[in-house]
Amino acid sequence: MAMQFYASPEQVMRDRAELARKGIARGRSAVILSYDGGVLFVAENLSSALHKVSEVYDRIGFAAVGRYNEFESLRAAGVRLADLHGYSFDRRDVTGRAIANTFARTLGSIFTEQSKPFEVEICVAEVGATPEADELYRLTYDGSVQDEPGRMAMGGQSETVATVLRAKHRSDLGLAEALAIAVEALSGVGGEGGRPRELPATQLEVAVLDRNRTGRTFRRITGQALTALLTPAPQAEAEGEEEGGEARKPDPGQAPEAAQAGPADPQATDAAAAPADQEMAVEASDAATAGDDVATGDDATTGDDAATTA
């Protein structure tokens, strides 16, 4: 009679956990972080049809790494649960924490009861009225739930990616700044010789939960909009435009007096020329009077006296 193979429960759980961790580490990383305008999802994804980032409900988003068929089945179940709960009660009763707890129970049951666990790591994010009110939940293959403080990284070399996020993340970041930090964190691993890589827009899947929207807040950023956000802003071309730069030097061909003098005022020029015109008019009047005196003076009288004497 053949003896039945036996393994202790602890060894079985260790083997399952090791299998799940290796499967998750082979996947490409994803970054989720809170910024001033909402919650940003950035995942490295070469496929344009199979999404790692999706919407669950109005203000709830979903991101995952690992085996696509496994986390996609969880996402679809979460969408059905949220729709049913929102229809039965109120849309405001659907929360990210409730969806995360449901996922945790499912993952825990699969990990303990089935021979193969799900090789997935999931983030459930809910956007709040302020960055401090945002909720990010990390769910692992064994059903564990962890509340993250506004940022998290999953899959691949997540520890290295998370180090960059911890050093540079702030809750008051703009969308372009938050995206630049996420791309820097993702591109800092996986290069040849440990050097950073270059991640083009075609290899990124980007979406946000916009806190300024009402109703459905989830929207994807693709195409030219994503390229514009990834393009750095141009720097100032001239040093004279910068604050505290040197004053612009005058033109060498221009006379110093003309370079310092301002534009001429026509009214001031007319007012300055008026006294000279008046002096010239007075001189002309005096000359005319003198001419009249010469014509009617002593010479005319002498001529009359000579004529009378003759």
> The domain containing residue 209 runs over which residues?
9-230
Q: Do 222 and 279 reside in the same domain of the chain?
A: no
203, 78: one domain: yes
Query: Per the domain annotation, does 173 fall within a domain?
Result: yes
Report the pLDDT value the prediction gives residue 276, as an integer from 0 to 100.
47
Does residue 274 share a domain with residue 222? no
The C-alpha atoms of residue 226 and residue 211 are separated, in whole angstroms, by: 19
What CATH number is given to the structural domain containing 58?
3.60.20.10
Helix and strand element counts for the chain (H, E): 9, 10
151 and 15 within one domain: yes
Same domain, 208 and 302: no
Number of domains in the chain: 2
Among candidate residues 230, 250, 283, the one where a domain is terminated: 230
Show pLDDT as tens, one digit a residue, over the chain (310 residues). 565 677 888 899 999 999 999 999 988 999 999 999 999 999 999 998 999 999 999 999 999 999 999 999 999 999 999 999 999 999 999 999 999 999 999 999 999 999 899 999 999 999 999 999 999 999 999 999 999 999 999 988 889 999 999 999 998 999 999 999 999 999 988 777 767 888 999 999 999 999 999 999 999 999 999 999 998 755 434 444 444 444 444 444 544 444 444 444 444 444 444 444 544 444 444 544 444 443 444 444 444 443 333 3
Contact 127, 207 (CB under 8 A): no
Contact 142, 111 (CB under 8 A): yes
Residue 258 lies in a domain: no
Do 66 and 143 fall within a single domain? yes
DSSP classification of residue 1 = -
- Quick one: 105 and 175 in the same domain? yes
Name the residue type at position 102.
Answer: T
